[in-house]
Structure 1
Amino acid sequence: MRAAILSIGDELLLGEVVDTNAAAIAAGIYALGIHLPLQMTVGDNVHDIVNACRLLAARVEAVVVTGGLGPTVDDVTAMAAAELAGMPLEANPEALAHLRAFAERVAVTLHPANEKQALLPAGAGIIANPVGTACGFSLIHAGCRFFFLPGVPAEMAVMLQGTVLPALAASGMLKSLRTKVFKVSGISEAELGVMLQGVTEGEEVSIAYCVDFPEIQVKVRTEADDEKTAEAMIAAAGGRIRDILGDRIVAEDADTIDTVVAGLFRTRGFTLALAESCTGGLIAKRITDLAGSSAYFLQGFVTYSNLAKIELLRVPGKLLEEKGAVSAEVAIAMARGARERAGSDLALAVTGIAGPDGGTAEKPVGTVFMAVADKNDCRVRRFQFHGDRAQIRLVTSFAALNWLRRELLPKP
């Protein structure tokens, strides 16, 4: 089966509101094993809505439509659906009863304008809305089944899960679709494409690449008539990709680098302290955003000024004067100071120039020094990141977590 999504609303078309509904619908449809070749957005215009529906009906077997079922003059979706079906609009008794019952349940007076939401194409099937005023409806045009849902995300989601997806699943025209996601760091998209060229050749498996700064996602997709075959195909392709990319893969599927690092700390039983300058506590935030981080994260120091580095981390003032706050030597002193003050197994320190000012020819904006200290040693690296201030801080936090991940991975 092929399906499409039609989002309706001037606010979506003009970029004033982000269309989260389309993403939720697409995820639900794909999970069923239904192909989704098309998504469209049109404004609140009857002519445009009808034309979009006709175009989609010629391409797919089902369309999920959201938006334009409200009580105001710009809500014209039901009118367009009636024109599409060649049926008149009429007051639907079930929809009208729902309106009145909903108003009574939430103890509000139903405005007469709301009764417009009960005007639906004659013969349309009702889709119940347990959390809002507007019922959805379904109809068939040119052999294509249309589901019309409200644009309010909370209402749409309940109706999608409760009615639309079960109806699509009952069609029986489904495939087993599978996607495997590898999240990769430390390599460019072009280089990654070359490395994986031909890895799925001769198989019914495709690879797509998506940049989700600062990582690249490799999405491996396949379909089969049954779940077991699809899983086997994905597993075989995934194994070859792991062999090629090795520890450049920082996470898979729903995991993130943050959750992977958290899992490694729990598994290895190590504790951590942080000393942050240019990131201003962003690394600590990412770590403590995850429940249970208190088991391994002991303490964080945000030492933005030189005085804070001296007083909190015992970085020698003379070292700051001679080498500068953004230097390998100061990063090492920060990491060692944080580990000693916190009594942790590991300590990571970052100091850099996030910009937009402060760069020099020797140390341009984006220069970051990072150090990791343990009881035996302290290792330091210089990074040169690019982007605006927010991007440099984000990629620095990502690189810091990635270094911790590599430190915690079992050594061969």
Structure 2
Amino acid sequence: MIVEIISTGTELLLGQINTDAPYLAKRLNELGYSVLFQSTVGDNRERMSQVIQTALSRSDIVITSGGLGPTQGDITKEVTASVLNLSMYLHEASVERIKRFFAQRHLGMAHSNLRQAMMPEGAIVVDNTCGTAPGVILELANGKVIIHLPGPPRELTVMFDQSVIPYLNRRFGVQGSIVSKVLRTYGLGEPLLEERIHQFILAQGNPTIALLAKGGEIHVRLTAKGESHAEAQKLITDLENKIYPYISDYIFGFDGETLEYITGRLLAAKNFTIALAESCTGGLVSSRLTDIPGSSNYFTGSVVCYSNHIKIEEVGVSAAILEKFGAVSQETALSMAEGIQRKFSADIGIGITGIAGPGGATPNKPVGLVYIAVSGPKGTALHEHFFNGSRLDIKNRTALTALNELRKYLLSL
């Protein structure tokens, strides 16, 4: 079954974050429905009418969110009724429920709230247990279905889970299962990553393969559809096993596993502690590591040593190294990693120094030059990197790369 989600509301076109559509898409895919289209339209009758008509021409189920409120701008039901040549009527049971909602809360009710009880002829009315706007289900003669849900996220999610899913199961039966798994990679660009699994991308069917650049990482999403969750999961596992050897060096985690989570898990498993000396990242790596619950078991401490004075006094970098090689140098990064490891008596020490820009560059040291050193039981490893982008881009890429270098160091032990 093909589903289209229509998000209504001019505020969405002005940049307000839409959480309804992602939620609906995720839940519908879990139920085995194919969400092939998503549209957003403002509170304009003509444009909304066009969007609904287009959706009905290409989809079996059309689900809208928003536009069921009491104001003149809430027009979703009216526009749909016009598209389908249906009259509107006052649904008395909804009137009573809306009045009861306000009375129980000792709130005054505006006459306009009764607009929420106006329904298209022949509608199945869906009670709203969290608000005043009932949902609407319209079954068309050609077998297609339109479902109107309220816009407030809590109202929408509860109504969808409690009422719409049971309706879909009764109406259309079990649709099978759509399962996705994300292989999260770091350290290889999207074109090069695609080259490594090009043969699988060309041959894809079910499962499908999609690459997505996200926050410096490249995600490889595998999606399969099966008669059951187990069947879809097996399809995913079979394809993953084929792809894995080609990109295993760059896969650090799966689905919601972040680099800080993975490195934290490795530190905990090895019973290691870590300390950091950060310059150009300004404490960003430390912040990410401590975002993980339980990080106090392995995170000892850190120093943001932006100035040379702090590098010398707090981290133990010698003035001679700074004078001879400069703050952004291999030698300084090595000294920072080893110095912070000693200072906090940690198993692992990391030193990060670089030029985040836009100023500070020299002919030999451009903006984006970064040195990352990791000191530990296996000695000290040094890595030189060159990053492009804004100051914030360079800081973020440096933090991600430091976590990845830490991950690889830990795996080598």
TM-score tier, shorter chain, comes to over 0.9
What residue is the counterpart of 2:360 in the other structure? 358
Matched, 1:127 2:126: yes
**Shift of the alpha carbon at 1:202?**
7.0
Instruction: Provide closer, same or farther for how the CA distance between residues 325 and 410 of structure 1 changes in structure 2, counting only shifts above 3 A.
Output: closer
What residue is the counterpart of 1:136 in the other structure? 135
Residues 336-375 of structure 1 aligned to structure 2 (within 5 Å): 336-375=338-377
Q: Which amino acid aligns with 1:131?
A: C
In the aligned structure 2, how far is the partner of 1:6 from the partner of 1:206? 25
Q: Which amino acid aligns with 2:114?
A: E
What residue is the counterpart of 1:212 in the other structure? 214
RMSD: 1.7
**Shift of the alpha carbon at 1:173?**
4.9
In the aligned structure 1, how far is the partner of 2:128 from the partner of 2:391? 45
Matched, 1:194 2:195: yes
Residues 42 and 48, structure 1, Cα contact 8 Å, conserved in 2: yes
What residue is the counterpart of 1:6 in the other structure? 6
What residue is the counterpart of 2:49 in the other structure? 50
What residue is the counterpart of 1:335 in the other structure? 337
What residue is the counterpart of 1:99 in the other structure? 98
- Aligned residue for 2:154, secondary structure, equals helix
Residues 4 and 56, structure 1, Cα contact 8 Å, conserved in 2: yes
Q: Structure 1 residues 198-207 or 121-130, which shifts more?
A: 198-207
Matched, 1:21 2:23: no
Residues 374-389 of structure 1 aligned to structure 2 (within 5 Å): 374-375=376-377, 377-389=379-391
Residues 213 and 219, structure 2, Cα contact 8 Å, conserved in 1: yes
Q: Which amino acid aligns with 2:175?
A: L
In the aligned structure 1, how far is the partner of 2:341 from the partner of 2:241? 38
What residue is the counterpart of 1:146 in the other structure? 146
Residues 154-303 of structure 1 aligned to structure 2 (within 5 Å): 154-170=154-170, 171-199=172-200, 201=203, 204-303=206-305
Residues 208 and 218, structure 1, Cα contact 8 Å, conserved in 2: yes
Q: Which amino acid aligns with 2:372?
A: M
Deviations 1:152-195 (A, max 9, x none): 22222222222223322342151322222111111121111111
Q: Which amino acid aligns with 2:92?
A: P
- Aligned residue for 2:28, secondary structure, equals helix
Instruction: Provide closer, same or farther for how the CA distance between residues 376 and 202 of structure 1 changes in structure 2, counting only shifts above 3 A.
Output: closer
**Shift of the alpha carbon at 1:375?**
4.5
In the aligned structure 1, how far is the partner of 2:347 from the partner of 2:124? 64
Q: Which amino acid aligns with 1:121?
A: P
- Aligned residue for 1:103, secondary structure, equals helix
Q: Which amino acid aligns with 2:302?
A: G
Residues 6 and 65, structure 1, Cα contact 8 Å, conserved in 2: yes
In the aligned structure 1, how far is the partner of 2:222 from the partner of 2:135? 35
Deviations 1:360-402 (A, max 9, x none): 2211111111101115522211110111111111111100111
Q: Which amino acid aligns with 2:295?
A: S
Matched, 1:403 2:402: no
Matched, 1:65 2:67: no
In the aligned structure 2, how far is the partner of 1:87 from the partner of 1:330? 75
TM-score, with structure 1 as normaliser: 0.95
In the aligned structure 2, how far is the partner of 1:202 from the partner of 1:217? 17
In the aligned structure 2, how far is the partner of 1:173 from the partner of 1:3? 15
Q: Structure 1 residues 58-67 or 384-393, which shifts more?
A: 58-67
In the aligned structure 1, how far is the partner of 2:57 from the partner of 2:322? 70
**Shift of the alpha carbon at 1:287?**
0.8
Deviations 1:33-67 (A, max 9, x none): 11111111112122322332222222222111011
Residues 308-327 of structure 1 aligned to structure 2 (within 5 Å): 308-327=310-329
Q: Which amino acid aligns with 1:128?
A: D
Unpaired runs of at least 5, structure 1:
none
In the aligned structure 1, how far is the partner of 2:386 from the partner of 2:166? 51
Residues 28 and 165, structure 1, Cα contact 8 Å, conserved in 2: no
Q: Which runs of 4+ in 1 moved over 4 A?
A: none
Deviations 1:213-268 (A, max 9, x none): 20111111222233333222211110111111122001112222222112111211
TM-score, with structure 2 as normaliser: 0.95
Instruction: Provide closer, same or farther for how the CA distance between residues 203 and 68 of structure 1 changes in structure 2, counting only shifts above 3 A.
Output: closer
**Shift of the alpha carbon at 1:304?**
1.2
**Shift of the alpha carbon at 1:207?**
1.0
In the aligned structure 1, how far is the partner of 2:165 from the partner of 2:309? 60
Instruction: Provide closer, same or farther for how the CA distance between residues 410 and 379 of structure 1 changes in structure 2, counting only shifts above 3 A.
Output: closer
Aligned-residue sequence identity (percent) comes to 34
Deviations 1:268-309 (A, max 9, x none): 111111111111111111111111000000111111111111
**Shift of the alpha carbon at 1:199?**
2.5
Residues 57 and 143, structure 1, Cα contact 8 Å, conserved in 2: no
Residues 31 and 174, structure 2, Cα contact 8 Å, conserved in 1: no
